[in-house]
Amino acid sequence: MEPDRLLHPLPTARRPLKRRSLHAEAVETLREMIIGGQLAPGARLVEAELCEMFTISRTPLREALRVLEVEGLVTFYPNRGAVVSIISAEEVLQQFEVIANLERIALELAIERMTKADLGRLNRMHDRMIHLYEAGQRRDCFQKDYDMHNRIVALSGNRVLQEMHAGLMARSRRVRYFALHSASRWNEAMAEHDAFMRAINDRDVARASILMRDHVLKTGFLVGEFVRDKGDASPEMLSRADRGPD
């Protein structure tokens, strides 16, 4: 689809950036605008408009856009400039295949290396996630789930794995919200979390890692089907996913 046919107006309010690092601030702000749906898939990222919005020059903005290109959130077209990337169901499934197996390896390493204190903290995170789920606070529960997965990867102690995982999580985060729309998947996912947490506490490396892999693959399949059926993320889709089933 031609990017010129996918124009979306930028938000009009100025968002001046802090001075600690214009490049880093631009990356963070644009990333959140894309993930949160303020910049829709296919939206053209006009440099002059963004520079005025953030009150920065073109150099840090262009550096930020290149970082987001690596993360898969921005696509550059020759003679057209940058647009917010459009993701396909096939790409979603491929991303989750890799994430699932990275997290399987991470959990194997984490179980071997985590201390008693590390395990205690992980259990508390899990308990908090379940509490949020039971209270019907889906968005907060989703964030806690996201934090738990990242914590397990951190406990692997493998920096190369962490960097690969972080990049893929940034690319997939925009569509991971779609898992929120399925009540049945929520129930299933919480049961899966209980199962692999029991295996972690039992120090059952083989069982825990397989349960983790399958848990992530199931989420990826659901998100991929959502994208296939209803298209890539948009503010309306994100809002509907947050509310859950109609």
- In this structure, the answer to whether residues 70 and 119 fall within a common structural domain is no
Q: Are residues 61 and 157 in the same domain?
A: no
pLDDT higher at 204 or 241 = 204
Question: How far apart are alpha carbons 99 and 213 in whole angstroms?
Answer: 8
* CATH code of 42's domain: 1.10.10.10
Return the pLDDT at 175: 77
Domain limit, last residue, from 34, 56, 84: 84
Q: Does residue 29 contact residue 60 with C-beta atoms inside 8 Å?
A: no
Nearest Cα residue to 152 out of 94, 112, 192: 112
**pLDDT value at 125 more than 70:** yes
* 233 and 155 co-located in one domain: yes
Decide: residue 200, CB within 10 A, 0-12 exposed, 13-18 middle, 19+ buried: buried
Structural domain boundaries, residue 31:
3-84
* pTM for the whole structure: 0.74
* Position 93, amino acid: L
* Inter-CA distances, 140 with 89, 110, 155, 192, Å: 26, 25, 22, 18
- What is the β-pairing status of strands 44-45 and 74-77? unpaired
The number of distinct structural domains making up the chain is 2
Per mean pLDDT, which range of 96-105, 109-118, 165-174 is the poorest? 165-174
Q: Which helix (H) or strand (E) holds 118?
A: helix 116-134
Tell me: the pLDDT tens digits for 23-81?
788 888 998 888 777 888 888 999 999 999 989 899 999 999 999 998 888 999 988 88
Distance from C-alpha of 56 to C-alpha of 228, rounded to nearest angstrom: 38
| Position 101 pLDDT exceeds 90 | yes
Average pLDDT of the chain is: 85
Higher confidence at residue 28 or residue 6? 28
Residue found under tokens 């506490």: 201
Asked if 102 and 72 sit in the same domain, the reply is no
Whether the predicted pLDDT of 7 surpasses 60: no
Question: What's the CATH number where 163 sits?
Answer: 1.20.120.530
Would you state the pLDDT for residue 245? 39
